[in-house]
Amino acid sequence: MIKNGTTDGNSTPARPRPLSPNIQIYRPQLTSVLSIANRITGLILSLGAVGLVIWLSAAAAGPQAYGVVQSVIGSWAGQVALFGCTFAFFLHLCGGIRHLVWDTVHGFELRSIYISGWTVVVSSVALTVIAWVISLLIAGWPQ
Amino acid sequence: MNRRSFRSPLARALGLGSAKSGAQHWWAQRVSAIALVPLCLWFVVSIVTHAGSDYAVFAAWIRTPLAASCMILLLVALFHHSALGLQVVIEDYVHSGVRFVVIILVRFGCYGLTVIGIVATLLIAFSG
Amino acid sequence: MIIESSDRVSRLSWFKRFPIPRNFKVTPESRIEKGRTWPAPAYAKRVKAFEIYRYDPDSGGNPHLDTFHVDVDDCGPMVLDALFWIKNKVDSTLAFRRSCREGVCGSCAMNMDGTNWLACTRFISDMGTNATIYPLANLRIIKDLVPDLTHIFAQYAAIEPWLHSKTPEPEKERLQSPEDRSQLDGYYECILCFCCTSGCPSHWWNGNRFLGPAALLQAWRWLTDSRDEAKGKRLDALEDPFRLYRCHTILNCTRTCPKGLNPGKAIAEIKKAIVEREK
């Protein structure tokens, strides 16, 4: 007689079987970590898109409103947020291109999966640094 | 799965059957992604090269037909891509009926922001 | 850093689990409690500790983690041998599935050091210092390391894993060219151990509707079979936001397959086939 689970034949409510742990014990791997990273960066960029609309709306409202938004972006917190958005953008971009290649059924050998994965990590860091160095060279440090 | 039920395992696995859809959503996600690659790169390059410039320079840039067009295309593709992606995230993690409400709200939010962004861009482009 | 085949064990000693609370989203009956420690026999020279998930349905209690100290000189080289050693010499109530002990039956799939694999083909020497053995992830547990596979086998049945044909049965066998037969390579070898489905985060969150990598790999095995005449029907049944498109190409499946197969690629083939018939 099965006491627990689905069928025990008597009228006492069965104690549900325990669910074995999943994310609590499963080892993070490049596959799953980059997947969740792509998701989190997507969420960050969605917020960034809201920021873009605010920025455009402020600019449409006139120089004064634009100045306020620019000073927020120029602040210490604003620059950190912008830097985060830049990195999120490049990670999502590189990860997205990796996904587009997979959608053509290419690059599915484990070796390719890992090489492309690390390429995404390295190139998104590099592109973020390059973008910020160039922008700081053009504009100088924000006041 | 652990509830006492007389439904067969196969009946549970088959559920309500196939929606016979989903490819459109998947395809739209890819098409908007492909569109976003050049548009986002254009945007990032523009922002980087305009770093630190004042309102007059910025407004003059948006007034060029190319920049205004690209900005509108960017807004459309960005929020379309975002709405599709957020819907998948919501479906993944929200299992109660609340998900229908959240998905609708996200859709409305994305459409609304697209329109606001386009109007703002046009206002700058046709001002002065 | 670069994993070339799925039998490679991750060597990273940091970041062994996601930084979330131990009881994140764990319902009361699934909470894992501290268990007892079983010492090694006094004569043992080389001892290895294994933390093993235990659950006794008759006790009315919760699952718990027992620590067993295994005399490595007295047992075979594989994790399955260590389980046999424990069952024979320490605690005969330890329950686990096993049959072929050579990686062809798929019975002894379990989660070792955080990844799914077959206990019979995982070397004890490849286990970390705090070796942990859990049942396959995200399944209802019948006892100890024995999960209830009813639902994922039902999902396998749902893709109708048999030949569909309207052409009258030929007198002898159904012919297939060597080229067409080679299309099945990498798919027909699946042993249904469900390491992939149990290791797929998308299946963790939506396993009631998402078919999971094992069933979808089998679906492609029949879609790509030149003798099958139900391609369209099969694609119709698969094209669904949850059944198929809950796959977000995380690729934990391909990383974990003990037979070195590629469920991720099979699913990409299905998505491509659906686009091809639409565009």
The DSSP code sequence of B2-66 is -S---S-HHHHHHTT---S--HHHHHHHHHHHHHHHHHHHHHHHHHHHTTT--HHHHHHHHHSHH
Whether residue A57 and residue B52 make contact (CB cut-off 8 A), yes or no, is no
Q: How many Å lie between the alpha carbon of C204 and the closest alpha carbon of chain A?
A: 7
> What mean pLDDT comes out for the span B116-123?
97
Domains detected in chain B: 25-125 (1.20.1300.10)
The tally of domains found in chain C comes to: 2
Partner-chain residue, chosen from B34, B49, B113, that has the shortest CB–CB distance to A138:
B49
Tell me, yes or no, whether A17 lies in a domain.
no
Same domain for C142 and C155? no
Per-residue pLDDT tens over the stretch C229-276: 999 999 999 999 999 999 999 999 999 999 999 999 999 999 999 999
Domain that holds residue C225: 150-162+178-278
Per-residue pLDDT tens over the stretch A24-33: 999 999 999 9
Tell me, yes or no, whether C171 lies in a domain.
no
Interface of C with A in 37-56 (CB under 8 A): 53, 55
Tell me, yes or no, whether A24 lies in a domain.
no
Confidence of residue A3 (pLDDT cuts 50, 70, 90): very low
Q: In the sheet that C33-38 helps form, which strands lie side by side, from edge to edge?
A: C33-38, C64-71, C47-54, C131-134, C109-112, C115-118
Residue of B nearest to A46 (CA): B82
A45 touches chain B (CB under 8 A): yes
Whether residue C245 and residue B25 make contact (CB cut-off 8 A), yes or no, is yes
> What mean pLDDT comes out for the span B29-47?
97
Tell me, yes or no, whether C37 lies in a domain.
yes
The pLDDT score that the predictor gives to residue C11 is 79
Instruction: Give the CA dihedral A71, A74, A78, A82, nearest 10 degrees.
Output: 130
Residue A142 has pLDDT above 70, yes or no: no
Tell me, yes or no, whether A8 lies in a domain.
no
> What mean pLDDT comes out for the span C186-208?
98
Same domain for C65 and C88? yes
The tally of domains found in chain A comes to: 1
CATH number at residue C209: 1.10.1060.10
Per-residue pLDDT tens over the stretch C48-101: 999 999 999 999 999 999 999 999 999 999 999 999 999 999 999 999 999 999
CATH number at residue A112: 1.20.1300.10
Residue C7 has pLDDT above 70, yes or no: yes
> Do B72 and B121 form a contact (C-beta atoms < 8 A)?
yes
Tell me, yes or no, whether A11 lies in a domain.
no
Domain that holds residue A113: 30-139
Tell me, yes or no, whether C21 lies in a domain.
no
Same domain for C122 and C185? no
Per-residue pLDDT tens over the stretch B6-29: 899 999 999 999 999 999 999 999
Question: What value does the mean pLDDT of chain C take?
Answer: 96
Per-residue pLDDT tens over the stretch B73-86: 999 999 999 999 99
Show the DSSP H helices in chain C as ranges: 79-89, 150-158, 178-182, 195-198, 201-206, 213-223, 231-238, 252-256, 263-278
Residue C133 has pLDDT above 70, yes or no: yes
Tell me, yes or no, whether C130 lies in a domain.
yes
Per-residue pLDDT tens over the stretch C181-196: 999 999 999 999 999 9
Tell me, yes or no, whether A10 lies in a domain.
no
